[in-house]
């Protein structure tokens, strides 16, 4: 089954008599005169069904004798109090490795190996998801086993303690990685006591907070029918898979009550420099301020997407990379970030690593680059390159039926339009230099950057940092 269709008319040269060859373009001129038809992004659309009130998306693909099934439950640690943070974080891992009410963990492992079933379990602040892939001939047995992991977990106490021990060790090693430390402390600095700002601490892992009963309690709130969406892709069809999914849905209980609303963060807005002292050969720099552009079917979102690519997310062709790495050699890598959450403010800024002595010059250069984009629109060719990068990269997310189904499930969870995939490509292709300049002029504020640095202050130079605002020294874990 063809998943992506594209029309490409390549330039060709007709046979020409010897005396006319000199009139043909050659070399670079020939390349520049070649013209190609636009790619037509036309991904297949999954069929939609309902079983017991549960939405099911299915997209057939008989390329290989394999079938994948996807489950997404609304609900995660971010919707409950801090007392459920550890349990909610551990939930995906314990669903996979904690056994079921009728099978010990090693028995589950044996069956997965016997049938060559692949599974993955993941989670975030607002959802828990899982994927199962199997030979189509083993689909009934695979769905039976996978369904038990999802809806009838045992949360083996030994496996809980293994997970808890790994987390305690991770806490002890957190400051060993300057990059991880910078990002975790920056989130804590910005978001404080909000799930985005939480970082696992010893107190979260108290045995009274991480026990079997709390796992079962939270699982009952999340893994229930009203929270579930299912997807199927591969070598199967609806008549074959429908009774198998119906049996799975019958095992999923109704939700005991509705989920709490997702908390809206009170994001800290305080320009200046925050320094975490650490002797290291490279300073880690994270800088950003809040921005009100949200994931939506709106011109502002598409313009911001291209603006971010031009600023620093587009690799070697982006402004920050060109200035910081190529021109000045301050860093091997430098990038922008422009997050656009669906329901609350995101962040606009940049990240890089550099020698301590180059910390202040690198920051100054990034801020200067940002100001240049506020002052004048980018070149049309620059915008075209960014659009091509984003569009060409986007379509590779939909090479397989599984990718299409899983991404469609995510977009539906975000309340985006059914034809969001097509709208996204069309929206990005409609961006021009003026709309990009307007995005920078409306949302980019170099003077408002909250800059966090992990590095050696003696080599950095505090006086140089004060050029960017007041300098506040932070202790790890005390950034709010």
pLDDT > 90 fraction of the chain, expressed in percent and rounded: 80
Give the chain's mean pLDDT. Answer: 91
**Confidence tier at 454 by pLDDT (50, 70, 90):** very high
Residue 477 has pLDDT above 80, yes or no: no
Rounded-to-10 torsion of CA 48, 51, 56, 58? -70
Phi and psi at residue 468, to the nearest 5°: -105, 5
pTM of the model: 0.85
Helix (H) or strand (E) holding 123: strand 118-123
Mean pLDDT calculated for residue range 278-302: 96
Chain segment 149-162, per-residue pLDDT in tens: 999 999 999 999 99
Chain segment 317-352, per-residue pLDDT in tens: 899 999 999 999 999 999 999 999 988 999 999 999
pLDDT at 417: 85
The two three-digit tokens of residue 462, written as one number: 């505090």
Assign 268 to helix, strand or coil: coil
Chain segment 218-242, per-residue pLDDT in tens: 999 999 999 999 999 999 999 999 9
pLDDT at 3: 36
Q: Where are the beta strands (DSSP E) in 339-416?
A: 346-354
Pairing of strands 471-474, 272-277: parallel
What are the sequence ranges of the domains in the chain?
47-251, 272-474
Same fold, 47-251 and 272-474: yes
Cα–Cα distance for residue pair 205/102, rounded to 1 Å: 27
Mean pLDDT calculated for residue range 354-358: 97
Q: Which CATH number fits domain 47-251: 3.40.140.10, 3.40.50.970, 3.30.830.10, 2.40.420.20?
A: 3.30.830.10
| Cβ pair 31, 220 in contact under 8 A | no
Q: Where are the beta strands (DSSP E) in 225-368?
A: 228-234, 272-277, 283-291, 334-338, 346-354
- Most confident listed range (14-28, 111-125, 387-401): 111-125
Q: Which of 21-30, 176-185, 199-208, 371-380 has the lowest mean pLDDT?
A: 21-30
Cα–Cα distance for residue pair 396/310, rounded to 1 Å: 20
User: How many other C-beta atoms lie within 10 A of the C-beta of residue 222?
Assistant: 22
For tokens 């509705």, what's the residue?
258
Q: Which of 3-7, 92-96, 200-204, 446-450 has the lowest mean pLDDT?
A: 3-7
Residue 14 has pLDDT above 50, yes or no: no
**Confidence tier at 35 by pLDDT (50, 70, 90):** confident
CATH class given for the domain over 272-474 = alpha beta
Cα–Cα distance for residue pair 239/211, rounded to 1 Å: 42
pLDDT at 6: 34
């Amino acid at each position: 089954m063809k998943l992506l269709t594209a029309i490409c008319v390549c330039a060709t040269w007709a046979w020409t008599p010897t005396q006319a060859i000199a009139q043909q373009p050659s070399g670079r001129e020939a390349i520049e005169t070649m013209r190609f038809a636009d790619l037509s992004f036309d991904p297949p659309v999954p069929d939609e069904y309902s079983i017991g009130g549960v939405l099911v998306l299915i997209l057939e693909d008989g390329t290989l004798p394999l079938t994948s099934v996807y489950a997404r439950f609304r609900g995660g640690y971010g919707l409950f109090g801090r007392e459920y943070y550890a349990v909610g974080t551990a939930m995906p891992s314990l669903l996979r490795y904690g056994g079921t009410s009728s099978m010990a963990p090693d028995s589950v492992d044996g069956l997965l190996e016997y049938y060559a079933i692949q599974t993955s379990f993941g989670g975030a602040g607002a959802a828990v998801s899982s994927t199962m892939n199997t030979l189509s001939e083993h689909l009934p047995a695979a769905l039976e086993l996978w369904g038990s992991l999802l809806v009838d977990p045992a949360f083996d106490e030994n496996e809980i303690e293994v997970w808890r021990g790994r987390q305690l060790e991770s806490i002890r090693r957190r400051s060993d990685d300057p990059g991880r430390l910078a990002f975790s402390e920056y989130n804590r600095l910005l978001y404080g006591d909000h799930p985005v700002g939480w970082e696992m601490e010893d107190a979260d892992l108290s045995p009274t907070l991480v026990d079997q009963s709390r796992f079962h309690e939270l699982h009952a709130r999340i893994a229930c029918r009203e929270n579930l969406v299912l997807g199927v892709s591969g070598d199967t069809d609806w008549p074959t898979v429908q009774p198998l999914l119906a049996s799975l849905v019958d095992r999923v209980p109704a939700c005991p009550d509705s989920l709490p609303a997702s908390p809206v963060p009170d994001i800290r807005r305080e320009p200046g420099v925050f320094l975490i002292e650490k002797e290291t050969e490279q300073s880690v720099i994270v800088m950003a301020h809040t921005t009100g552009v949200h994931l939506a079917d709106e011109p502002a979102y598409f313009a911001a997407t291209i603006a971010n690519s031009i600023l620093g997310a587009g690799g070697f062709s982006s402004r920050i990379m060109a200035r910081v790495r190529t021109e000045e050699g301050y860093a091997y890598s430098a990038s922008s970030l422009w997050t656009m959450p669906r329901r609350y403010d995101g962040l606009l800024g940049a990240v890089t690593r550099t020698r301590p002595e180059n910390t202040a010059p690198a920051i100054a250069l990034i801020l200067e680059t940002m100001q240049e984009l506020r002052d004048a629109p980018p070149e049309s060719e620059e915008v075209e390159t960014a659009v091509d990068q984003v569009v060409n990269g986007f379509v590779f997310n939909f090479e397989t039926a599984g990718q299409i189904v899983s991404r469609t499930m995510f977009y539906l969870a975000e309340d985006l339009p059914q034809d969001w995939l097509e709208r996204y490509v069309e929206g990005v292709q409609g961006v021009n230099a003026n709309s990009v300049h307007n995005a920078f002029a409306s949302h980019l504020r170099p003077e408002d950057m909250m800059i966090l640095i992990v590095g050696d202050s003696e080599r950095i130079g505090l006086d140089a940092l004060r050029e960017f605002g007041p300098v506040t020294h932070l202790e790890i874990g005390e950034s709010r």
